[in-house]
């Protein structure tokens, strides 16, 4: 793979220079002196749910915004999220809502501890028609090296129950996550994976590269090789894997991508992407499935261009209970007879509180369309992959070029408590939250497949449902534990990390 190594070296060089340019020193926002400000009129513990009635209908000008605790995060990154600025005039009645909105936006950056002991935003002082606001934060640990240990299967449950938890099917290695590298909420990821597969993954993202804090950039690289290839879908709707013997690798791949992002305000992001991929599989793959790629080929190189629109207005992005989110994607994959796909996807979800914040209802819908409708197996994977996984059908895969699903959930918080971390207190929250939600859910889906290999689960409505638990804790980690049913009369346990869709 000398060509790929050359690409890797160039990308490392580019990322290094990009980080040097981007890591500009800046004011982190420490107040010059907050000891002078105190007020007997409005106490220092003026929080979002406290309004002194003597100031009703009064209008104040925000004189100063002080930020403490941001040792790494640049002040401008935090100010960009606020719904108010220094010099703005605000009605005192509107202030609690503004402070709550500011808190939500800042915590959704995933840069600070969510513990009430570590985060606060309040009025510090009132002097005549002027007020000062202070934001106190505790930054998370940003450099997170960790061992990588993960099954090669689609999910942990798939590995446990369909492949008997075989140790030989584990990947292991080193995973490095470096958040907020230069204080600009930029992220560096490096994964070195060995074991059943061999992979090297590298990415760098920075939300803002311009002085107006609107344009950003994302770079990513992935290359590797695998012993095993999913060559198709059996009539039982299970993946048809074949493996190479000994040291034989049946699949070699390379992926590179460059994205420009544009965030004009707060909730909407536009992504403009350009990618390039190479794929080479062994002859045994083609013998097993002549329709694996177009025209019976075993290797293909192709570019990809795409546009994605992302909208998120959520109370807590890692585990939302209120708000809305949506994604639209339009992409062109390949420009030749070897690879020629137009791909369109749409996703949307809404969350609503029912009476109180501890109980919520959500409904989500996801759809995908690929043109031309007749695609080889490699570009016709649909239900059971990524976001398009149906509850009740987690252990099945269903191919197709058009389809989607709709899901509704009713959830209630069962418990909410915090524990003090016994170690790593400098990098962890003062109190680590642990919230557990009980839930019931139902979903319906459809996968259209015009090809001869369509199975009994294609071209018909599918229904499933169940109940389970969501466990949410620090560093935005949510674990799903579910017991689901489907229209076939089957019922099974399933566990996975939770995402928005």
> Does residue 36 surpass a pLDDT of 50?
no
Residue ranges of alpha helices (H) inside 197-320 are: 283-288
3-state secondary structure of 395: coil
Q: What is the dihedral of CA 174, 175, 179, 181, to 10 degrees?
A: 40
Q: Where are the beta strands (DSSP E) in 196-285?
A: 197-206, 215-226, 228-233, 239-243, 251-262, 268-281
Q: What's the sign of the alpha-carbon dihedral 241, 242, 247, 250? A: negative
**pLDDT, tens digit, 9 for 90 and up, residues 280-328:** 999 999 999 999 999 889 999 999 999 999 999 999 998 999 999 999 9
Query: Sorting pLDDT into bands at 50, 70 and 90, what band is 54?
Result: low
**pLDDT, tens digit, 9 for 90 and up, residues 89-108:** 999 999 999 999 999 999 99
Which range has the worst mean pLDDT, 5-19, 117-131, 295-309? 5-19
Q: Are strands 130-136 and 59-68 parallel, antiparallel or unpaired?
A: parallel
Domains of the chain, first to last: 2-19+141-497 (2.40.160.50), 31-136 (3.10.20.310)
Which range has the worst mean pLDDT, 225-239, 329-343, 410-424? 410-424
Report whether 148 contacts 176 (CB < 8 A). no
pTM confidence score: 0.85
């Amino acid at each position: 793979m000398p060509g790929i190594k050359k690409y890797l070296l160039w990308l490392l060089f580019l990322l290094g220079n990009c980080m040097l340019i981007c890591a500009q020193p800046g004011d982190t926002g420490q107040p010059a002196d907050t000891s002078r400000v105190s007020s007997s009129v409005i106490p220092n513990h003026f929080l979002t749910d406290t309004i002194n009635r003597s100031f009703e209908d009064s209008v104040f000008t925000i004189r100063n915004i002080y930020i403490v605790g941001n040792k790494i995060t640049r002040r401008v990154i935090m100010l960009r999220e606020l719904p108010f600025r220094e010099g703005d005039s605000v009605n005192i009645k509107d202030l609690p809502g503004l402070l709550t909105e500011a808190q939500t936006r800042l915590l959704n950056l995933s840069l600070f501890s969510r513990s009430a002991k570590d985060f606060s935003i309040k009025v510090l002082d009132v002097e005549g028609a002027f007020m000062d606001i202070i934001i106190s934060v505790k930054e998370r640990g940003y450099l997170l090296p960790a061992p990588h240990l993960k099954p090669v299967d689609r999910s942990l449950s798939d590995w446990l129950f369909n492949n008997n938890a075989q140790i030989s099917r584990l990947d292991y290695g080193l995973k490095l996550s470096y958040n907020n590298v230069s204080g600009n909420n930029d992220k560096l990821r490096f994964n070195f994976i060995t074991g059943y597969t061999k992979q090297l993954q590298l990415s760098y993202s920075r939300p803002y590269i311009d002085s107006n804090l609107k344009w950003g950039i994302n770079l990513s690289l992935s290359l590797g090789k695998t012993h095993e290839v999913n060559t198709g879908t059996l009539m039982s709707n299970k993946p048809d894997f074949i493996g190479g013997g000994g040291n034989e690798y049946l699949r070699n791949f390379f992926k590179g991508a460059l994205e420009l992002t544009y965030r004009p305000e707060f909730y909407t992001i536009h992504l403009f992407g350009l990618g390039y991929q190479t794929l080479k599989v062994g002859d045994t793959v083609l013998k097993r499935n002549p329709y694996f790629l177009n025209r019976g080929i075993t290797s293909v190189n192709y570019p990809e261009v795409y546009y994605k629109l992302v909208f998120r207005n959520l109370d807590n992005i890692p585990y939302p209970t209120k708000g809305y989110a949506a994604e639209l994607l339009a992409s062109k994959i390949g420009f030749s007879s070897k690879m020629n796909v137009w791909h369109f996807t749409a996703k949307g979800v809404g969350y609503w509180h029912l009476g109180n914040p501890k109980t919520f209802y959500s409904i989500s819908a996801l759809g995908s369309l690929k043109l031309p409708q007749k695609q080889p197996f490699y570009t016709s994977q649909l239900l059971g992959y990524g976001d398009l996984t149906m509850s009740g059908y987690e252990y099945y895969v269903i191919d197709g070029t058009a389809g989607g699903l709709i899901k509704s959930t009713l959830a209630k918080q069962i418990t909410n408590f915090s524990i003090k971390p016994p170690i790593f207190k400098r990098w962890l929250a003062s109190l680590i939250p642990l919230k557990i939600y009980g839930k019931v859910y139902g979903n319906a889906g459809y996968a259209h497949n015009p090809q001869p290999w369509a199975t009994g689960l294609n071209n018909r409505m599918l229904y499933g449902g169940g109940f389970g638990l969501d466990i949410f804790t620090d560093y935005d980690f949510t674990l799903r534990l579910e017991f689901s049913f489907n229209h076939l009369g089957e019922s099974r346990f399933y566990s996975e990390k939770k995402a928005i869709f």
